[in-house]
Amino acid sequence: MKEIGAAKFKAQCLALLDDLDPDGLVVTKRGKPVARVLPIPKRPAELIGTLKGRIKVKGDIMSTGLTWYAHAEP
């Protein structure tokens, strides 16, 4: 886990938050840890069910709409 002084953290706060490691960051004052900054865990987007009732399926969604003829070469 990285350590940074409070004054440097204050001056570079936004940039540090943009590049925050999963381990986080320890903020120190006069060499003693005073705070720990941790990122919020990212959750996968919950899209399943959010469009329920808003989408209508027309036709066969498993078909390309083309007729295929397969035959073996002699």
Is the torsion defined by CA of 24, 29, 33, 35 positive or negative?
A: negative
Return the higher-pLDDT residue of 57 and 19: 19
pLDDT value of position 55: 77
pLDDT value of position 30: 96
Q: For 7-40, write each residue's pLDDT tens digit.
A: 999 999 999 999 999 999 999 999 999 999 999 8
Return the higher-pLDDT residue of 37 and 68: 37
Give the full edge-to-edge strand order of the sheet including 2-5: 2-5, 25-29, 32-37
pLDDT value of position 46: 64
Q: At 15, is the secondary structure helix, strand, or coil?
A: helix
